[in-house]
Structure 1
């Protein structure tokens, strides 16, 4: 049975309860054939001391959306996904609003996946560019 787009997003957000994603208010908001989009509010919860978005929060957003994307596109009854490496280049600061992370596949292998994650603000300005490698491992 194939789930609707809304059902997949609802399920993804439901499993975020009592996790870092809930703490940072990360929400999955859109997906398609080869991408997933999440958003996170920019407020004091994710600030660094001088009142702008913390790079670590941006990396957490990127890893969350990238890992979820890999998980959506593998057989989660047989495999689980783990992030194995993330890089982040921060280009611009943000003080308020939302940031959006769009994860797209550069490589979708049976065992490893490589994702490009672009983080933008409410005006579609590029904030960060991230790369995430994930691995799909068999469930025992």
Structure 2
């Protein structure tokens, strides 16, 4: 597994302690201030998640299968959920805004087929963007566009 996590506080660039991590994860520079104190999270960075598109209504990221497999050599079911939760929670956080916090309160997934190599893509689409709750459907596909899993995540928004 590629460990692209770059330690935050105490790094050479104290003005932006997670700058390199955010760049490696494909986070647009316009969002660096929002994530400057936390980065994308150690687990998401270690799993190699790279954002392609970031918005409250739609968020897309990729993740390699390599390094994220279960003992049978296929992508671990928990890896699907990590990608889904990362996408849904980031999208909910964008919807919440800078003075509010999104907290995952429910996630579920159905696995349709396996992947043993390559890169998977997760696409989160908002089902509901409310004042106190958000719900996103997240579809994971392989490089051929075949659906691997479908997840649903609900986040609580609080002040």
What TM-score, normalized to structure 2?
0.76
Q: Which runs of 5+ in 1 are unaligned?
A: none
Aligned partner (choices 4, 15, 39) of residue 62 of structure 2? 39
Kindly provide the CA deviation profile for residues 24-68 of structure 1, in whole angstroms up to 9, marking residues without a partner as x.
Answer: 01111113562000110011x211111000000110110001100
CA apart distance, 1:123: 0.8
Task: Choose between structure 1 and 2: higher strand proportion.
Answer: 1
Determine helix, strand or coil for the equivalent of 2:96. coil
CA apart distance, 1:74: 1.8
Work out whether 1:52 is the aligned partner of 2:70: no
| 1:13 and 1:27 in contact (8 A); partners too | no
User: Which of the pair has the greater relative contact order for Cα pairs under 8 Å at 6+ separation?
Assistant: 1
Q: Which runs of 5+ in 2 are unaligned?
A: 1-26
CA apart distance, 1:10: 6.0
* Corresponding position of 1:93: 114
| 2:56 and 2:92 in contact (8 A); partners too | no
Alignment partners' CA distance in 2, 1:30 and 1:80: 21
Alignment partners' CA distance in 1, 2:34 and 2:48: 13
Q: CA-atom RMSD, angstroms? A: 2.0
| 1:12 and 1:28 in contact (8 A); partners too | no
| 2:55 and 2:94 in contact (8 A); partners too | no
Alignment partners' CA distance in 2, 1:12 and 1:27: 17
* Corresponding position of 1:133: 154
